Structure 1
Amino acid sequence: VRMERQAVQRAREAFQSGRTRPLEFRLQQLHALQRMITEKETEIATALKQDINRSQYDTPLLELIGIENEIKLAIDRMAQWAAPRPVEKNVLTISDEVYIQPEPLGVVLIIGAWNYPWALTLLPLVGAIAAGNAAVVKPSELSEYSSLLLRELYPVVTGGVAETQDLLRLRFDHVFFTGGSTTGKLVMEAAAQHLTPVTLELGGKSPCYIDKDCEIRVACRRITWGKFVNCGQTCIAPDYILCEPSIQSQVVDCIRLTLLEFYGADPKCSPDYGRIINQRHFNRIMSLMEGYTPVVGGQSDSSQCYIAPTVLKDVPPHSRLMQEEIFGPVLPIVTVSDMDDAIRFVNEREKPLALYIFCNDKKAVKRMIEETTSGGVTVNDVMMHYTLSSLPFGGVGHSGMGRYHGKHTFDQLSHQRACLIRSLKMESVNLARYPPQDRRRARRSPTRWQQTADINSNGQPIV
């Protein structure tokens, strides 16, 4: 507890000293973070290889490029984001100075996730720095090698569940958590003791609807990449497929051919195919597959935490597999009679973090977007909405609260302070608001607000 308390105290003292507020200091910190990413790319890739067998080619694509782009954007736009923002006035404030001033919240706790331990830890940090906050960073202990490397490069708090719980007992000005919904509830409960606002980036079962009239081969190629990259351990990976029975076999065949193209006849030997993070998650995923006969894959090796890319067809809608987020390389297919049935299926369940629609009919796409809800939606591809800093990334309902990326992170970790500055002159304008009230004086006032004193309860003028 002492270590966590000291880390928070140092961050609090740094913030209260005013050191984190000047734009010049924020820029220096962001440039330093950029240099760290550039100089340590090889070490980062090695750590990820040890943690989840991440391909050295996937590390820049899946994590580092995104961080670098966020840093560059923050450096370029930070002065604009932090500037006072004039707002519309009314007749009562016509001669006043009225604006919104973004200001830092204070000390932000960032709890990272293990599946993308660099992006999901450092992306919120970029926004916290840009907004002028001090931050306490807690990377996930499950991605052990990445966590140790982060500790060498950056002042972070390491440890497991006990250390995280100790941190959450302390007071912060904002808690930014990425992880599962069960832990998210505990984070929210702990933050409530201090009335601390939270951003919860959770997950859930993201549906993927394939219309029978779309280019199924292309759709399956894109779905296969999104589902099995990082061994399925991606919060916005397609969790399951919805399609009509008439195309189910074609979908299976296309995914099988794509897997052969991506990972070869034996994905276990492919340098591009990952591993499950640990034995506990390996056992959890294997238990979800019990009772099913895979139509693709299904092989596993406990000693390596390896599970082959696996497809299951005709999965019952109310099975355990369809109740829990899979977070692994297992893709169930559930058949629906048509788009109406798919919409009902999605709406009967918790609001997902992402919704994927593969369909050529623009009217049908628009209808599905309008009649469902999700944190984000991508049409005719998967996960690509995450790559845009201009789009807010976050969940809704059970899949999370709050949003980030680009300016959205800056706004999330800033207080939007309402400011009104007026002169001590022209006091006569204010006479109508002071007692003792005089109806005639109010009637002579030029403002609409003061004129309402001359209207009775029936809306009729008082004469």
Structure 2
Amino acid sequence: MNKYQSLFDTQKEFFYTDATKTYEWRMDQLNRLEKMLTENQEVFCQALKTDFNKPPFEQLFEITVPLGNIKYYKENLRKLMAPEQVAIPKGLEETGNKGIIYKEPFGVTLVIGPFNAPILLLLDPAIAALAAGNPVILKPANTTPTVAALFQDLIPKYFEPEAVNIVTGGREGITALLELPFDFIFFTGSSAVGKVVMRAAAENLTPVVLELGGQNPTVVDESANLDIAVDRIAWGHNAISGQWCIAPGYVYVHEKIADDFIARLKTSIQKMYGENPQESPDLARMISEHDAERVASYIIPEKVVVGGRFDIKARYVEPTVLYPSTWEDPALQQEIFGPVLPVMVYSDLKEITNIIKRKPKSLAAYIFSKNQENIDYFLNSVSFGGGCVNQTNLHCWIDSLPFGGVGYAGMGKYYGKAGFDALSNTKAMLIGNPDLELDVFPPYEGKDIAKNLSVFS
């Protein structure tokens, strides 16, 4: 018997009571989550620092964003839950029929979180799931053991097990969980593991949201404000030591401004992290020695124009810029997920756009430009999950902007209304007039079928 079967069954039986479909239950869960975060903010932040030396801003970000999402759902829950009347054919409407969309929870939901934002990216999907009326089983990343242990301690104190429960452990635990017939699975992580999750979900025809990653392109054209561009790229790429799925993965910079861009980017990185970034309190560490070694292996010494140093035992890789890079370089063979940034030069936007859109689709993309024609061309031509113009990364903080991937970068969107809709089954109903006679049944001979069917047009 699966070791998590009883845990799953407890939530499933509770779901069958229909208690989770009420406004009161959903609000109670959101209030409990809010209380857990606010009462334990300091200890959550300390856990992030312990696991990989996240700086204070990145610590608080993981608390404030979920709190903002809770606030959104608490303020909008009644409206989100309300049945929605929609237009139907005029003939049906005039004869007393209505079209109604009901939003109902799927059921027991598994949320598997990643290491890079182990609080935020575990709780944000859980918040959407609970707001939509789904009991949740949480699986935090085992590579952030302090955060995982904290969740294991706190979840039972703030939640009933039939509403929210937690499972910790490594690959064996995930494998066992994925054998269960969950009603919905939400996974954030690598594309490789995303494929494993999707294969397992297919065995039970379980719907999924997959938030994955990819090589996120960034284009800087000759009209860009370089001072703005370099600061936003430097921060966007090096926050969490580059270990976030929406970080700029590589930069294409126009040949007319390439050298100026590199000079300013170097100044920006030094301004943010100092001459010796290893001593900076604002630079996180790699999650493991293995990952530090992996990212360091992408560094080509003769192409280093910024950084290049690393300390594997300390899980440290210096913010590094490689220039000029090519698609043959090791750093451009996969998602880097670390603070090494390849920069390539281009002369023709259409030419590089043609290259980019033939690569696997990315979770994010960015363009820095004052030329609206260039912006429109890039956005229209390249498919990706979401992104920014003249900014990086911030689109993932805004609850009115659905967040998620496409293709290799994942499927499904969440945040705000999109999150509620993703975790809800939209049950479409035609509410018929009980007294309306439609003679459309056999035998058909001698009947004016067209006249009876006219109500559907």
TM-score by length of 2: 0.94
In the TM superposition, residue 237 of structure 1 has moved relative to its aligned partner by 0.4
Give the aligned partner of residue 119 of structure 2: 118
Given the alignment of the two structures, is residue 235 of structure 1 paired with residue 245 of structure 2, yes or no?
yes
Q: Secondary structure at the match of 2:252?
A: strand
In the TM superposition, residue 367 of structure 1 has moved relative to its aligned partner by 1.4
In the TM superposition, residue 364 of structure 1 has moved relative to its aligned partner by 1.6
In the TM superposition, residue 422 of structure 1 has moved relative to its aligned partner by 2.1
Does the Cα contact within 8 Å between 1:46 and 1:56 map onto a contact in 2?
A: no
Q: Secondary structure at the match of 1:199?
A: strand
Matched residues in 2 for 1:106 and 1:440: separation?
Answer: 46
Q: Secondary structure at the match of 1:20?
A: helix
For residues 117-160 of structure 1, the C-alpha deviation after alignment (integer angstroms, 9 at most, x for no partner) is 01100000001001111111101101111111111111310000
The amino acid across from 1:442 in the alignment is I
Matched residues in 1 for 2:262 and 2:79: separation?
Answer: 50
In structure 2, relative to structure 1, the CA distance for the partners of 1:292 and 1:325 (3 Å cut) is farther
The amino acid across from 1:437 in the alignment is Y
For residues 24-66 of structure 1, the C-alpha deviation after alignment (integer angstroms, 9 at most, x for no partner) is 0110110110011111110011000011111123211x31111
For residues 70-123 of structure 1, the C-alpha deviation after alignment (integer angstroms, 9 at most, x for no partner) is 000101111111110001121135412320000000011100010000110000
Does the Cα contact within 8 Å between 1:15 and 1:107 map onto a contact in 2?
A: yes
Give the aligned partner of residue 457 of structure 1: none
Q: Secondary structure at the match of 1:268?
A: helix
Task: Say what the alpha-carbon RMSD is for the aligned residues.
Answer: 1.6
Give the aligned partner of residue 138 of structure 1: 139
For residues 344-403 of structure 1, the C-alpha deviation after alignment (integer angstroms, 9 at most, x for no partner) is 121121111111000001122111111111101200010111111111101111110000
Give the aligned partner of residue 76 of structure 2: 77
In the TM superposition, residue 439 of structure 1 has moved relative to its aligned partner by 4.5
Give the aligned partner of residue 384 of structure 1: 394
Q: Secondary structure at the match of 1:271?
A: coil
Matched residues in 2 for 1:18 and 1:38: separation?
Answer: 29
**Which among 222, 238, 250 is matched to residue 232 of structure 2?**
222
In the TM superposition, residue 7 of structure 1 has moved relative to its aligned partner by 2.1
For residues 415-447 of structure 1, the C-alpha deviation after alignment (integer angstroms, 9 at most, x for no partner) is 0001122243232xx12x12221455336x365
Does the Cα contact within 8 Å between 1:442 and 1:450 map onto a contact in 2?
A: no
**Which among 327, 333, 338 is matched to residue 328 of structure 1?**
338
Does the Cα contact within 8 Å between 2:285 and 2:315 map onto a contact in 1?
A: yes
Give the aligned partner of residue 15 of structure 1: 15
Does the Cα contact within 8 Å between 2:3 and 2:176 map onto a contact in 1?
A: no
Q: How do 1:144-293 residues align onto structure 2 when only pairs under 5 Å count? A: 144-154=145-155, 155-290=165-300, 292-293=302-303
Give the aligned partner of residue 159 of structure 2: none
Q: How do 1:304-315 residues align onto structure 2 when only pairs under 5 Å count? A: 304-315=314-325
Does the Cα contact within 8 Å between 2:304 and 2:322 map onto a contact in 1?
A: yes
Q: Secondary structure at the match of 1:236?
A: coil
Matched residues in 2 for 1:212 and 1:425: separation?
Answer: 69
The amino acid across from 1:142 in the alignment is T
The amino acid across from 2:6 in the alignment is Q
Matched residues in 2 for 1:42 and 1:414: separation?
Answer: 33
The amino acid across from 1:193 in the alignment is E
Matched residues in 1 for 2:184 and 2:58: separation?
Answer: 32
Give the aligned partner of residue 316 of structure 1: 326
Matched residues in 2 for 1:441 and 1:184: separation?
Answer: 55
In the TM superposition, residue 213 of structure 1 has moved relative to its aligned partner by 2.0
Matched residues in 2 for 1:223 and 1:362: separation?
Answer: 20
For residues 152-209 of structure 1, the C-alpha deviation after alignment (integer angstroms, 9 at most, x for no partner) is 1113100001100110011101110000000000000011000111110000000110
Give the aligned partner of residue 88 of structure 1: 87
Gaps of 5+ in 1: 452-463
Give the aligned partner of residue 460 of structure 1: none
The amino acid across from 2:318 in the alignment is A
Q: Secondary structure at the match of 2:294?
A: helix
Matched residues in 2 for 1:450 and 1:442: separation?
Answer: 12
- When Rg is computed on C-alpha atoms for both structures, the one with the higher figure is 1
Q: Secondary structure at the match of 1:417?
A: strand
Matched residues in 2 for 1:253 and 1:316: separation?
Answer: 19
% identity of equivalent residues: 35
Matched residues in 2 for 1:162 and 1:396: separation?
Answer: 28
In the TM superposition, residue 449 of structure 1 has moved relative to its aligned partner by 6.2
TM-score by length of 1: 0.93
Q: Secondary structure at the match of 1:235?
A: coil
Does the Cα contact within 8 Å between 1:113 and 1:139 map onto a contact in 2?
A: yes
Matched residues in 2 for 1:291 and 1:259: separation?
Answer: 18
Give the aligned partner of residue 363 of structure 1: 373
The amino acid across from 2:282 in the alignment is D
Matched residues in 1 for 2:275 and 2:3: separation?
Answer: 49
Give the aligned partner of residue 102 of structure 1: 103
Matched residues in 2 for 1:450 and 1:239: separation?
Answer: 52
For residues 288-318 of structure 1, the C-alpha deviation after alignment (integer angstroms, 9 at most, x for no partner) is 2256541110111112101110000011113
Q: Secondary structure at the match of 1:33?
A: helix
**Which among 322, 343, 356 is matched to residue 346 of structure 1?**
356
Q: Secondary structure at the match of 1:110?
A: strand
Q: Report the number of matched residues.
A: 446
